[in-house]
Structures are given as C-alpha cells and as structure tokens.
Amino acid sequence: MKFAVNIENAETVEILGLNSDWENSIVMSKKKDGTFSADVSLPKNTQHEFKYRVNETEWVNEPEADSQHHNEFGGVNSVIVV
C-alpha cells in the first residue's frame, strides 16, 4: 500500500499505528516536490488505525482515510481498509 502526504513546513513525516504498532514508526521519504511517501505491506482484508507524526512532535490525520476512529486520548485516528 502506498502512502503519500503533503504537509506544509514538514521536515520529517512518520507513520505510526499500522498493525497496532504505535512505537515503531515508518519513516516516509521526502520527494523533490515536498511530498512524503512510503510503501508498506499490509495484510489483505484488514483495517488499520494510524496517524502521521510530523517533525517528531505534531500528530496529523490522513484527510483521505477510509474512516476515523476515536482514540483513548480524546482524539481521532485515521482508519485505512485494505
């Protein structure tokens, strides 16, 4: 599955939460046009909550996620269905 995001003023972007892993991030590669991307293998017929962590401090949701799910911290996670 290909993830791609364009976040203004981002120096680094990581994906957290895929496969229920909120500790080991997937570092996205920055392209010349300023977008970040990553290819991630995910099992078919599954759904995953995730968020982007920008510049190691800011949490951002995927605007084009399949859905959203409220988390235990009072916020919302993006959900992708594979």
- What pTM did the predictor assign? 0.93
Domain at 2-81, CATH from 3.10.20.740, 3.40.50.720, 2.60.40.10, 3.20.20.140: 2.60.40.10
Q: How many CA atoms lie within 13 A of 74 on its CB side?
A: 0
For the chain, the distance separating the N- and C-terminal CA atoms, rounded to the nearest angstrom, is: 8
Residue with tokens 């290909």: 2
User: How many CB atoms neighbour CB 81 within 10 A?
Assistant: 11
Looking at residue 14, its amino acid is E
Residue with tokens 């982007």: 52
The predicted-structure confidence for 12-56, as pLDDT tens digits, reads as follows 999 999 988 999 999 999 999 999 999 999 999 999 999 999 999
